[in-house]
Chains A and B, each alone.
Chain A
Amino acid sequence: MSSFRAPPRKGENFELAADLNSEYKDKRKDAIKRVIANMTVQKDVSGLFPDVLKNMQTDDLEQKKLVYLYLMNYAKTQPELVILAVNTFVKDTDDPNPLVRALAIRTMGCLRAEKIIDYLCDPLQKCLKDDNPYVRKTAALCVAKLYDLKPELVIENGFLEQLRDMIADSNPMVVANTVAALTDIHAAAVAAGVPRDQFPISTDIVNKLLVALNECSEWGRVAILNVLARYTAEDAGESEHICERVVPQFQHANASVVLSAIKVVMIHMRDISSENLSKTLIRKMAPPLVTLLSNPPEVQWVALRNINLLLQKRPDLLSNELRVFFCKYNDPLYVKVEKLDIMVRLASENNVDPLLSELKEYAQEVDVDFVRRSIKAIGQTAIKIDEAAERCVNVLLELIGTRVSYVVQEAVVVMKDIFRKYPSTYEGVIPTLCANLDELDEPEAKASLIWIIGEYAKKIDNADELLGIFVDTFTEESYPVQLQTLTAVVKLYLQKPESSQGLVQKVLNTATKDCDSPDVRDRAYIYWRLLSTDPGAAKAVVLAVRPPITLPRTTVSAVLLEELLGEIPLLASVYHKPAETFVGRGRIGADTVQQKKAELADDRIATQKALQTVAAGQQAENLLDFDDDVQGDGQPSGLAATTILAQTPAAANLLAGTSSNPLDDLVSIFGGANLNSTPAAPAPANGLGGFGFGASPLAPAAPSITPTALSPQPPQQPAQGGQDDLLGLF
């Protein structure tokens, strides 16, 4: 068989094979380097396996490393040949040079060929007890590698017990690697569903780790801190002790050590009853957090995402530090966006003036996305701080004055929210907004302006003219605009019936006859029936008082927040999403999210719904996972991925959690109201359902031929609460 696929007798591989068998040492070494170079650019050099293998037995450490590198790559494809290397490996683990011993044991663990594993156990046993700490630390990680391949072997050989004993090792680096290996094994065991805890943490272990913490390398500290975070303290005293010992790590130069230390303190602070001590701890946390911002932008970004979480838990954490979050002109966009978010969180009555002038500055920059976010931030500040609302409105008006299209549009959207929060306070700006009617070409901006016109129809003299413009182009508009137009016209009709009779007739006609969106059509039918049967009820429904909007203090639910705080510098805390949603366990992962959510009776239903959507979305993404079974070429999966994944750039991903868009509030209220009212008042809900079902088949017919079964009941009082919101919002 192999003779068919034998490489041609010439070409690069043939030459390399010749050089690998050369009698000159230098030539052979040079050939190995060329083989590795080819391997890196993904040329297939697996055919040279036997030739490379011949060069393994050497005194030259560098050459040995290169051969090992080659072996690690191709061992899986050439399992029969790997066996030839075993002898050299085993011999190397007895070498007097500890570097060679460590190298051999490290490489053997990476070969991942079934046949070699059986030969691994004895040398590993030996290396775990080696005199040299360098060999021991390498061997400790090798146990984790073995567990990844064949967990049974680790358990049979008692390596786990041995690892647990090694936590008491005198060398801090060995302790750190042991801890890392055990954590890795624990994670693998949990993922595989092994019921037994492979790495139980006792008080004894914690004490040993606290000693090693101050002595080991920065990476080792992170490993140890992660274990401390998993430990549940026996009493408040122990929690205090752990916090005290961990706090000095806040001063470390490595950001991951600082953040991991903060995680440990946040976790163990839950058990500390003394108010004073937790205050001191929080106070000590603030300066290091700010210092993280002088790191390179990527690290800054990770820090900012985590600061955002910490602020949700402890809003007072950085209350005096607003200025350090001011954006620099040359910050990357992702850093700027995070800073904006944090600035709004830190906004208070005292610092609102510098904040607003800063936001105004940003709103005049070049990047459209950043400008929009800055304007949104102004709106959020207005909603957050009542006293500053007027100043915010003035800034928005100045921005509208620039007449830059996207600035004006975003400002209009933001104004809508300000109107919702402070009804009938800023009616004076309505003319300015209406003057920019022609500028608007985005659906959201149009819809917002229409909503404002509808809401204040009574006070705008030419409201019918303005809405008339939209009614004329009704069928060309997008659905959200159509829905808003419909509602606004009905609102106008209810407030000024005399001047808008014709308009409402026209819009209802167009919406029911010429519109192809079932939502728009059905809503038109509902309004039509309401208006024709009981205008009083229509008023109660359409002109109902809406619940005031507030700026949510948290973007994730309380339970999720606690969970995320426990994962501080990890990806989950950067994404503000539980790990299951992006780490590939496919459906199972998403299910557990849902299960967990189901347990949280106190959790807000709305948030839960949002989370499930996130999970569902991620589920869909997981289907695109790069499966191990996909053959080596990878191209198809990569290309296939582009089309769909292009819509989910990570930035969008991230922002799914942070509902900076106030329309999200509408949606959540919608969802919440629906869910709340269903069990409480089933009758009206059915009634509504009846509308929907009945109306659709009747679509072409005139609504006046109402079958008795459909006789529209006026919305019943008990359900009013929920449904008012639902309809009145639009």
Chain B
Amino acid sequence: MISAFFIFNQKGEVLISRLYRTDLKRSIADVFRIQVVSNSDVRSPIITLGSTSFFHVRVNNLYVVAVTKCNANAALVFEFCYRFTSIAKSYFGKVDEEAVKNNFVLIYELIDEIIDFGYPQNSETDTLKTYITTESIVSSNIAAEESSKITTQATGATSWRRGDVKYKKNEAFVDVVETVNLSMSAKGTVLRADVDGHILMRAYLSGTPECKFGLNDKLVIDKNDRSGGGDAVQLDDCTFHQCVRLDEFDSTRTISFVPPDGEFELMRYRSTSNVKLPLRIIPTVNEIGTTQVTYAVTVKANFNNKLSATNVVLRIPTPLNTTNVDCKVPIGKAKYQPAENVVVWKIPRLQGGQEVTFSGHAQLTSTTTRQVWARPPIDVDFQVLMFTSSGLIVRFLKVFEKSNYQSVKWVRYLTKASGSYQIRF
């Protein structure tokens, strides 16, 4: 399994190095630096040299690297690298060179705990935080009792939850966050439109609550009551947090679980049918001769006019030899960014039903190359609150606990796109 774990900065300096097995030397880090960090043309996340395989993931300005010498489980190694970054993020905010340097003792403590002999162990942030803290723990006889509680939790059937959680007010927040993936052809036909949904939950519930969760999806409804199938959403697939009882979902389609304390991702789903596209983009781009390009890009908000899209950012590509772009917009700000060869049009708020048009005029320098402009797609980022592209609605969230307390539940919906809403022209 994982023989060594490293973190490198962009220059290839070792920030963290931990060997789990003796089949490697610490100097293996130099090999990675030479082969990957200083190699500008790396075309695979796994590099095998001789019998040593390097798995690397780039996070901000860091390389998170796991090294193995065996036929390791590739999916597991990458999942682990990402898990490490998410743990690190929840411990010290952002994961970058500075944070790693400032917290290296903590990181050593963490990676010592979450991998043993190359096998990943408990990696639930909530549990880890009980015994790996930023302040030092003094182990005395009084703490011993506490730590046996911790260890039972770290190994128990609900390793993600402490038993003695207490809140004055019992609340649960459910966020349904949908990311829309769209690629639309130049002719305006939808090549691909689907929704990646995440259901995030923040549970502030006392004791060991037993939750049941229901959606208006067909997966659930078809089995339970056939009458409610009218506005049902068809989900192609869903995956659950490890607290959800998969066998129960498999047999009766009910989502039941004991939630971890605090924030976690309860469920992920995918839907491809009846995807509502919140923004419709109609681009008209004309190349006039070899020195000019004219743009008319219309954005139409295709949803109820009580709602609005916020943080709308359109990135409209320009040819590589553009010198300047005149931009005219009725709303927001548009600016040509020469470094990225795009015009960035930022609209802070767009009401439902509204329609706005960007018109632009790009001046090009004359070039000698014959290479035609590749016309990368227009990329749109946005957020629409209280709107789901798939039409998914949370039907119910029931909380059962021994003490039978009342709990308050809040549900929020958000549809967004970042880097995946692409329109060709």
Contacts and interface: CB of A to CB of B under 8 A. Distances in A.
B79 A571 contact: no
Contacts of A294: 196, 268, 270
A435 interface: no
A174 B157 CA distance: 11
Interface in B18-75: 19-31, 34-35, 41-53, 55, 57, 68-75
A282 to B, nearest CB: 15
Given A97-B143, A132-B152, A621-B50, A255 B31 contact: no
Nearest to A649: B43
B76 A256 contact: yes
Given A97-B144, A575-B48, A642-B34, A570 B71 contact: yes
B242 to A, nearest CB: 6
Nearest to B51: A584
Interface residues of B, number: 117
A23 interface: no
Contacts of B247: 214, 245, 248
Nearest to A652: B43
Contacts of B75: 255-256, 259-260, 299, 302-303, 569
B8 to A, nearest CB: 11
A197 B46 CA distance: 32
B340 interface: no
Contacts, number: 333
Interface stretch (B91-99, B277-285, B327-335, B372-380): B372-380
B166 to A, nearest CB: 24
Contact of A61 (B72, B139, B191, B236): B139
B136 A624 contact: no
A574 interface: yes
Given A132-B152, A251-B249, A326 B27 contact: no
A36 B112 CA distance: 14
B52 A626 contact: yes
Given A365-B374, A635-B27, A144 B117 contact: yes
Nearest to A357: B185
A40 B242 contact: no
A249 B250 CA distance: 9
Given A173-B155, A582-B51, A60 B136 contact: yes
B100 to A, nearest CB: 10
Given A323-B192, A628-B25, A252 B239 contact: yes
B288 interface: no
B150 interface: yes
A141 B152 contact: no
Nearest to A322: B192
Interface stretch (A328-336, A517-525, A607-615): A328-336
A465 interface: no
A328 B147 contact: no
**Size range of the interface on A?**
35 or more
Contacts of B318: none
Contacts of B217: none
Interface stretch (B103-111, B205-213, B305-313, B401-409): B103-111
Contacts of A625: 50-52
Interface string B134-162: 00111111011001101110111101000
B237 A287 contact: yes
B44 A624 contact: no
A249 B245 CA distance: 10
Contacts of B35: 641-642, 645
Interface in A212-227: 214-215, 217-219, 222-223, 226
Interface stretch (A62-70, A230-238, A487-495, A598-606): A62-70
Contacts of A630: 25
A219 B77 CA distance: 10
A583 interface: yes
A102 B151 contact: yes
Question: Which of A36, A215, A253, A573 lies at the interface centre, i.e. has the most chain B CB atoms within 10 A of its CB?
Answer: A253
Interface in A426-470: none
A334 B43 contact: yes
A72 B413 CA distance: 50
A60 B239 contact: no
Nearest to A584: B51
A173 B159 contact: yes
Interface string B207-232: 00000000000000000000000000
B10 to A, nearest CB: 16
Nearest to B246: A248
B376 to A, nearest CB: 6
Nearest to A244: B250
Contacts of A223: 119
Contact of B136 (A63, A214, A638): A63
B356 interface: no
A245 B50 CA distance: 39
Nearest to B58: A298
A416 interface: no
A138 interface: yes
Contacts of A582: 48, 51, 53, 71
Interface string A282-306: 0000011011001011110111000
B125 interface: no
A299 to B, nearest CB: 5
Given A133-B151, A324-B194, A571-B71, A290 B47 contact: no
Contacts of A287: 236-237, 270
A141 B117 contact: yes
B43 A651 contact: yes
Interface in A241-273: 245, 247-249, 251-256, 258-260
Which among A65, A141, A245, A638 has the highest number of chain B CB atoms within 10 Å?
A: A638
A192 interface: no
Contacts of B52: 584, 625-626
B108 A291 contact: no
A118 interface: no
Given A36-B104, A298-B57, A97 B147 contact: yes
Interface in B364-406: 370-372, 374-377, 379
Residue of B22, B27, B181 with most chain A CB atoms under a 10 A cut-off = B27
A545 interface: no
Contacts of B139: 59-61, 64, 95, 97, 99-100
A245 B247 CA distance: 8
A421 interface: no
A403 B196 CA distance: 40
A55 B150 CA distance: 26
Contacts of B41: 649
Contacts of A132: 148, 151-152
Interface string A10-34: 0000000000000000000000010
| Among B48, B144, B377, residue most surrounded by chain A Cβ atoms (within 10 Å) | B48
Given A59-B140, A173-B155, A404-B371, A638 B419 contact: no
Given A99-B131, A249-B246, A217 B159 contact: yes
18 contacts: A36-B104, A98-B144, A100-B147, A148-B21, A219-B121, A251-B246, A254-B79, A287-B270, A291-B270, A326-B183, A403-B370, A571-B74, A575-B48, A582-B53, A630-B25, A632-B27, A634-B25, A634-B27
Given A61-B139, A298-B45, 11 more contacts: A61-B136, A96-B144, A217-B121, A217-B122, A222-B76, A256-B76, A260-B73, A364-B374, A582-B53, A635-B30, A645-B35
Interchain residue pairs A-B with the least CB separation, the first 7 = A634-B27, A584-B51, A134-B151, A287-B237, A256-B76, A569-B75, A256-B75
Interface of A: 33, 36-37, 40-42, 59-66, 69, 73, 95-100, 102, 106, 109-110, 112, 132-135, 137-138, 141, 144-145, 148, 171-174, 177, 180, 184, 187, 214-215, 217-219, 222-223, 226, 245, 247-249, 251-256, 258-260, 287-288, 290-291, 294, 296-299, 301-303, 323-324, 326, 328-330, 333-334, 354, 357-358, 361, 364-366, 402-404, 567, 569-575, 579, 582-584, 621-622, 624-626, 628, 630, 632-635, 637-639, 641-642, 645, 649-651, 653-654
